[in-house]
Amino acid sequence: MVEKKEVFVQGNIACAEGALYAGCSFFAGYPITPSTEVAEHMSEELPKRGGAFIQMEDEIASSIAIQGAAWAGKKVMTVTSGPGLSLMMEHVGLAAFTETPCVFVDVQRGGPSTGLPTLPGQADMMQVKWGSHGDYEPIALAPNSPQECFDLMIKAFNLAEIYRVPVFFMMDEVVGHMTERVQIPPAEEIQVVERRWSSKPPGQYRPYEVGEDLVPDMVKAGDGYRIHITGLTHDERGYPAMNPTAHDRLVRRIHEKIRRHADALVDIREDGIEGAEVAVVSFGITSRVAAAAVELARQRGLKVGHLRLIITWPFPGRRIAEVARHVKGIVVPELNMGQVVLEVERAVAGRVPVHSVPHAGGTVHEPEVILEKILEAAR
């Protein structure tokens, strides 16, 4: 058996390595703290590992250059932080509507505006869910350690290929810059999903024809298919179709292709939910602080469960609703003024109180602050 490779690296480097192991061979980006190390690592490694790197003139360009490369057949990504993410939004919609597989890494910092460039935040969660105009269903994952930056980045690429959607990788400054041990399995043990290439010949292939799973198969430019891809509402041929019927069909499908697979897209790390009086729901860096708070509460004899969301979008509402049936209250700490908690409230639908633990960012919570809410929820 081939040994696992062990390295000590920061989350940003682990994220870049995860992308490389996932098969990313095209990177376009624009430097921004606290994400820059991802781009730097890609610029160093891609030339030696059969890929291409380009630093574009801005994030608008980066977020569409990767889509050009995706249509030439590559697995692609870009990386940014708040201000850059805002600039990328129009192209998130383009990727969603043209069903272009791509990964957007957001190493979150304190916002709004220039905010706190070197300090953490988790306040872009709703932006990635809703930020581009129009309706679409993105996927988002939230790692809480360098190891997860590696492992989940592979998952992020796989999901982008399986569902042909923009996938957001929601890191934050702390996860990005913390150095920890990362185990890298031998390449052959890493499960990598390849593109859903169409087996149809030119002439028979229609770019947006779908089967059971509602996700169309793909081809690439240069192979004789003479595809037309547009951000306008389009029909199965990919041709503009300027009417409400075509629009309804397409917009519904790009939602349905995610919603129909909602169960497969649940990824929650659960701890002690069985018999818990209180549940804590957290994600990303905050989940580490929340785990400490849960431990403190348990030391005081409380039965507290912890649900750590790995995939935040689509939101695992069904599971949260189930949990709500058995607990007295749910506590949701996050480094924002209360974003993911809105989805928790929606799922819980008033069955039990939901306690938000907001934090404007710049640092993580004090575990005691979360503990206090847990105690309140248990009363």
Partner 1 sequence: MSTDLYRWADQLQLGTDIDNPVMPFLRQDRIPHIWCPGCGIGTTVNCFARALTESGLDLDKVAIVSGIGCTGRVAGYMNLDSFHTTHGRAIPFATGLKLANPDLKVVVYSGDGDLFAIGGNHFIHAARRNMDIMVVCVNNFTYGMTGGQVAPTTPLGPSQTTMPYGNFEPSFNLPFLADACGAVYVARWTVYHVKQLAKAMQEGLKKKGFVFIEALSPCPTLYSRRNRLGDGVDQLKYYKEKSVQKNGVDTKELALGFQEEIIVGKFVDRERPTWLESMNEHFSRVLGTRYQPWGVTHAED
Q: How far is CA 23 from CA 30, 102, 161, 240, 350, in A?
A: 21, 12, 11, 32, 44
Residue 227 in contact with partner 1, rule: CB under 8 A: yes
Amino acid letter, 279: A
Query: Cβ–Cβ contacts within 10 Å for residue 85, how many?
Result: 27
From residue 8 to residue 47, the character string flagging contacts with partner 1 as x (rule: CB under 8 A) and all else as - is: ------------------x-x------------------x
Residue 316 sits in the site that holds partner 1 (CB under 8 A): no
Question: Among residues 28 and 330, whose Cβ is nearest to partner 1?
Answer: 28
Shortest distance (Å) from residue 241 CB to partner 1: 11
Q: Which of 296, 292, 291, 318 is nearest to 307 (CA)?
A: 291
Of 65 and 332, which has the nearer Cβ to partner 1?
65
What is the rounded distance in angstroms from the CA atom of residue 74 to the CA atom of residue 77? Answer: 10
Q: Minimum Å distance from CB 366 to partner 1?
A: 44
Per CB under 8 A, the list member of 232, 264, 337, 349 interacting with partner 1 is 232
Instruction: Give the total of residues touching partner 1 (CB under 8 A).
Output: 46
Q: Which is nearer to partner 1, 217 or 334 (CB)?
A: 217
3-class DSSP assignment, residue 379: coil
240 binds partner 1 (CB under 8 A): yes
Specify the residue, 112 or 224, whose C-beta has the smaller distance to partner 1: 224
Nearer CB in complex with partner 1: 58/189: 58
Joined tokens for residue 234? 């389009």
Examine residue 67 and tell whether it contacts partner 1 (CB under 8 A).
yes
Dihedral sign (CA 114, 130, 166, 224): negative
**196-225: which residues touch partner 1 (CB under 8 A)?**
220-225
Q: Are 349 and 104 in contact (CB under 8 A)?
A: no
228 touches 238 (CB < 8 A) = yes
**Are the C-beta atoms of residues 309 and 282 closer than 8 Å to each other?**
yes
Position among 9, 39, 69, 352 found at the interface with partner 1 (CB under 8 A): 69
CA pair distance 117, 265, nearest whole angstrom = 32
Report the alpha-carbon distance of residue 23 to residue 18 in Å, rounded.
Answer: 9
Q: Does 191 bind partner 1 (CB under 8 A)?
A: no
Nearer Cβ to partner 1 (251/360): 251
The reply on whether position 131 binds partner 1 by CB under 8 A is no
Distance, in Å, from the CA atom of 79 to the CA atom of 104, rounded to the nearest integer, reads 6
The footprint of partner 1 (CB under 8 A) covers 26, 28, 47-52, 54, 56-58, 60-62, 64-74, 76, 90-91, 94, 220-232, 237, 239-240
